[in-house]
Structure 1
């Protein structure tokens, strides 16, 4: 960021970028006001970061432009990451982020969760951006309204369903390209980054980890992890690892109450990340990179919970 002559860096407000979700049916990008309020309460300036139409490569280029305008990132909740970014072999996941010369989409193929052995519909192959556009034709889903991170996301009801995406929510080629590149750049450049729900999954995938398409269908848990409103109440208990950054930020280790609004979760944890918290049914609830000052993702939604505001304060402090 440009600093005028005779102006110290401390005199310029810390800028924290917040990513957004597309309401496709009405053409609006939106973000929950709770994210904005939590960032603003730290004294930082919240700035919304939005993907653009044009596909993954255009949005990777955009991410490389905007990353230098912020001091920290909040990668927010929302729709599911396309499975082509987390192929069954975790060792190939990082390479899968560059898909210019990769083969067909492979809709209708099947795979198995490594951890459970349960068969799960899976796009096991990657696709070029053009093949993805042709096969997808837009965000999938038979429902016009999907509730994600506590708000309705409007999808175009005229979009055709795509078999390999039929159990996923609000998949967006543009958003995937944008946020995966932001998360990678933040990690490479040691820019403080807080991932929330989908945001945690993005951080894991961009470093080579993988996801369960659906926790129930993968046989990970019999318990639902998508609570009904209000979201400022807690419905789940996690265990925070002693000595973790998360424990330091929240001021506690061991049992901790959270809300829960997701259907996917981390399967293979990316190399370099450590698990900072799990729910009592074994779902990964937080990951962090000990080699970075602040590279932390949580599966729940702290923006709704007053007791969790320390996550945002710690992010702003790391940015300063």
Structure 2
């Protein structure tokens, strides 16, 4: 029987649920059963989701409410979605509490860090000390535009077996201070954190890029990341 992977969804105007098909396809290709999760306020519903699911994919999207990590809005903060912020914050915390596998992508990576007690840059061009690379690429989503350097001691290295990979990039926010119990496993050449992972859970991995788009284009390394999520659910 296929393991059940919950996939978080975005909201269009707080009314219409939206999700890139690439997320669904990546989970299917990796051998999982994708289940789309609506953004709900009711905590009993969220708790039941955690009970029913084997693993979680936290997807990309818009900006995150900075009051969740103790800051007020920066002038360059984009559109936020309070319902999604609340839902994912609660969902991730419960998944971590249950020690169930989590793979978090782009916005999801940032939300994972915030839910676990870390923080983030609201805008890397305005707040990061070193002039950053182009992290919002002007190229198709299947194009890998910059490199990520991977720590050899990391779970990410164990999955990919490489010290450097090329990734796509569509973000203006990024992790600043990793949450307690998490370690950086990948950085861009400008120092921006591109991957981090928990040292206290069996599989919790955050990635700043979009491997689901690269997996859809046939990139084998990207598919390995989703297969690692599936494998981790079976080891529980």
Common fold, TM-score beyond 0.5? Answer: yes
* 1:202 maps to 2:103: no
Aligned to 1:70: 53
Alignment of 1:81-96 (within 5 A): 81-87=64-70
Aligned to 1:37: 25
Greater CA radius of gyration, 1 or 2? 1
Q: Partners in 2 of 1:259 and 1:293 — Cα distance?
A: 27
- 4+ residue runs of structure 1 moved beyond 4 angstroms? none
- After TM superposition, the score normalised by the length of structure 1 is 0.68
* 1:24 maps to 2:13: yes
Matching residue within 297, 301, 313 for 2:227: 313
Matching residue within 84, 96, 102 for 1:187: 96
Matching residue within 155, 160, 174 for 1:245: 155
CA 1:59–1:202 in structure 2 vs 1: closer, same or farther (change >3 Å)? Answer: farther
Q: Partners in 2 of 1:71 and 1:262 — Cα distance?
A: 28
Determine if contact 1:62/1:178 at 8 Å carries over to the other structure: no
Alignment of 1:6-155 (within 5 A): 12-24=1-13, 27-52=15-40, 58-87=41-70, 123=72
Instruction: Give 5+ residue unaligned stretches, structure 2.
Output: none
1 or 2 for the larger relative contact order (CA 8 Å, sep ≥6)?
A: 2
Instruction: Give 5+ residue unaligned stretches, structure 1.
Output: 1-11, 53-57, 88-121, 124-163
Q: How far 1:319 moved relative to its partner? A: 0.8
* 1:225 maps to 2:135: yes
More helix as a share of residues: 2
Give the secondary structure class of the aligned counterpart of 1:296: strand
Q: Partners in 2 of 1:228 and 1:38 — Cα distance?
A: 23
Determine if contact 1:216/1:223 at 8 Å carries over to the other structure: no
Q: How far 1:228 moved relative to its partner? A: 2.2
- After TM superposition, the score normalised by the length of structure 2 is 0.92
Determine if contact 2:22/2:212 at 8 Å carries over to the other structure: yes
Give deviations 1:164-191, integer Å, cap 9, x for gaps: 4653233111111111111111111110
Q: Partners in 2 of 1:22 and 1:166 — Cα distance?
A: 23
Q: How far 1:293 moved relative to its partner? A: 1.4
Give deviations 1:150-170, integer Å, cap 9, x for gaps: xxxxxxxxxxxxxx4653233
Give deviations 1:56-114, integer Å, cap 9, x for gaps: xx254432221112100000000111000111xxxxxxxxxxxxxxxxxxxxxxxxxxx
Q: Partners in 2 of 1:201 and 1:245 — Cα distance?
A: 19
Matching residue within 193, 205, 212 for 2:121: 212
Q: How far 1:318 moved relative to its partner? A: 0.7
Determine if contact 2:74/2:122 at 8 Å carries over to the other structure: no
- C-alpha RMSD of the superposition: 1.5
Q: Partners in 1 of 2:173 and 2:10 — Cα distance?
A: 17
* 1:261 maps to 2:170: yes
Q: Partners in 2 of 1:200 and 1:41 — Cα distance?
A: 22
